[in-house]
Chains A and B, each alone.
Chain A
Amino acid sequence: MSELAGTIPGKGGFSFDLCRRNDMLVSKGLKPPSFLKTGTTIVGLIFQDGVILGADTRATEGPIVADKNCEKIHYMAPNIYCCGAGTAADTEAVTDMVSSQLKLHRYHTGRESRVVTALTLLKSHLFSYQGHVSAALVLGGVDVTGPHLHTIYPHGSTDTLPFATMGSGSLAAMAIFESKYREGLTRDEGVKLVAEAICSGIFNDLGSGSNVDICVITKGKQEYLRNYLLPNPRTYVSEKGYTFSKKTEVLFTKITPLRELVEVIEAGDAMEE
């Protein structure tokens, strides 16, 4: 949004005509192309030294689990991470884009990135696409002004909260937070609470599942605990094994040339003008 230089964007901007046409086609019965969604449970909370973010690891394509162990906690800056729910392509693209913008900004300013910078970049981008970029995000980080936690909705609105949940499993996770959250949690208590909230989403929401990822961000330090909990291990493995024998038995060989190879030898002179 570098055009925020004193003018309101003119009547140009993004044209939503094709979006209306798509809606009309869907209402007439056209099946839209299916895409990868992260059904998801994502959470964040502020504890005494910083921020803890948590996410499940299931990516769905309609009713099918497309990825059993995807990464939903995206890197934005060394001190800022962002969990994403919604269309996987949208969350990846928007977090990657803002992460690069933040890096450039760090080069420009020579300072550590602030969470509100990431927040403003994300919300302006999402607002200008009027909700068609389906990314619901939980943004958390620690900067010079302290720990911050924000939620960002696909239409571009944001909330600043001490604890937050998003995604299809957000109701299950919020139930855990509302009963057990208090101010001034220690790191271990916070991690335990986040893991509990994500597990609640994993077990009670069909769109969330598999494992728990956690990211703890404190002043000057971050710990990305990938697969912190694996509550859904594969319990049945067939004794017969799942490989097939590599060798196929050869019974008979016959080679038939498809065409007679004709060689033409021309003893001609080189072309001359």
Chain B
Amino acid sequence: MDMSSGDLNAPHSMGTTIIGVTYNGGVVLGADSRTSTGMYVANRASDKITQLTDNVYICRSGSAADSQIVSDYVRYFLHQHTIQLGQPSTVKVAANLVRLLSYNNKNSLQTGLIVGGWDKYEGGKIYGIPLGGTVLELPFTIGGSGSSYLYGFFDQVWKEGMTQEEAEKLVVKAVSLAIARDGASGGVVRTVTIDKDGATRKFYPSETLPLWHEELEPQESLLDILSTASPEPMIS
């Protein structure tokens, strides 16, 4: 009973655009919300930013099953670690646990992950863990199929020491641009901002995002991309 509209028995994968950026004081993680099974959108409002601890979150891409299982295992190990340590675990430990699972099972897993969070020793940190299990500590990183369209954008717009507002605007703008161009990304934009006071989730419905170049506001200078108005978020 496999339909022409796509193989409904294909493994559930998240086409995806995921982003993690640091700013002075914390990190912002962003993702789209489309989960596809072949050509059918199985979930148009999925949450790809999963909580590992109060201060560490993970963005998932690639196979939905693999990334969910890895996150569940890491959340479990981090919980034990926190109890044994007696204080909140660091982002580095979380990233390392993810890396161990990804690297040691590289033949059976197909998932690219971004670990981001805040701890009192290092502040806001982003770690990219692509297919294969490398760990890369970076000031910002992008992942998923939609990230191909964002490398140029980030090269142009990224700067060190942004404020929280600038960082959030950057992430939302980037995910919207990727959604506009990548068929496997879509739905809404979700962000999680993590700083010393904890994590805040924000949600940007699809109607508020400019998706076509005619809808984007005209710019005076290429360096001015972020000074345009940004959509209003829904905060939870």
Residues of A that sit less than 8 Å from B by CB = 4, 6, 8, 37, 39-40, 60, 86, 123-124, 126-127, 130-131, 134, 151, 153-159, 161, 167-168, 170-171, 205-207
- Are A155 and B11 closer than 8 Å at their CB atoms? yes
Segment from B40-48, B150-158, B201-209 that makes contact with A:
B40-48
Complex A-B: 12 CB contacts under 8 Å: A6-B80, A8-B104, A37-B1, A123-B65, A126-B65, A153-B12, A155-B11, A155-B12, A157-B63, A157-B65, A171-B5, A205-B1
Chain B: interface size category: 20 to 34
List residues of chain B with CB within 8 A of the CB of A86. Answer: 9
Given contacts A6-B80, A123-B65, list 20 more A-B pairs with CB under 8 A: A4-B76, A8-B73, A8-B104, A37-B1, A127-B69, A153-B12, A153-B65, A155-B65, A156-B68, A156-B69, A157-B12, A157-B35, A159-B35, A159-B43, A161-B43, A161-B45, A168-B3, A170-B40, A171-B3, A207-B1
List residues of chain B with CB within 8 A of the CB of A159. Answer: 35, 42-43, 46
- Are A39 and B1 closer than 8 Å at their CB atoms? yes
Minimum CB distance partner of B6 in chain A: A171
Residues of B that sit less than 8 Å from A by CB = 1-3, 5, 8-9, 11-12, 35, 37, 40, 42-43, 45-46, 63-65, 68-69, 73, 76, 80, 101, 104, 108
- Are B80 and A158 closer than 8 Å at their CB atoms? no
Minimum CB distance partner of A4 in chain B: B76
Given the interface pairs A8-B101, A131-B11, the reply to whether A156 lies near B65 with Cβ below 8 Å is yes
List residues of chain A with CB within 8 A of the CB of B64. Answer: 153, 155, 157
The docked-state distance in angstroms from the alpha carbon of A134 to that of B2 is: 13
Minimum CB distance partner of B67 in chain A: A157
| Distance of B187 from chain A, by nearest CB (Å) | 12
The docked-state distance in angstroms from the alpha carbon of A37 to that of B8 is: 14
| Distance of A210 from chain B, by nearest CB (Å) | 15
- Are A134 and B68 closer than 8 Å at their CB atoms? no
| Distance of A9 from chain B, by nearest CB (Å) | 10
Most buried by B among A37, A130, A159, A167: A159
Given the interface pairs A6-B80, A127-B69, the reply to whether A155 lies near B63 with Cβ below 8 Å is yes
- Are A134 and B35 closer than 8 Å at their CB atoms? no
List residues of chain B with CB within 8 A of the CB of A37. Answer: 1
Minimum CB distance partner of A37 in chain B: B1
The docked-state distance in angstroms from the alpha carbon of A167 to that of B2 is: 10
List residues of chain B with CB within 8 A of the CB of A207. Answer: 1
| Distance of A148 from chain B, by nearest CB (Å) | 15
Minimum CB distance partner of B42 in chain A: A159
Minimum CB distance partner of B69 in chain A: A127
- Are A130 and B108 closer than 8 Å at their CB atoms? yes
List residues of chain A with CB within 8 A of the CB of B42. Answer: 151, 153, 159
Q: Which listed residue (B1, B45, B73) contacts A168, Cβ 8 A?
A: B1
| Distance of A133 from chain B, by nearest CB (Å) | 12
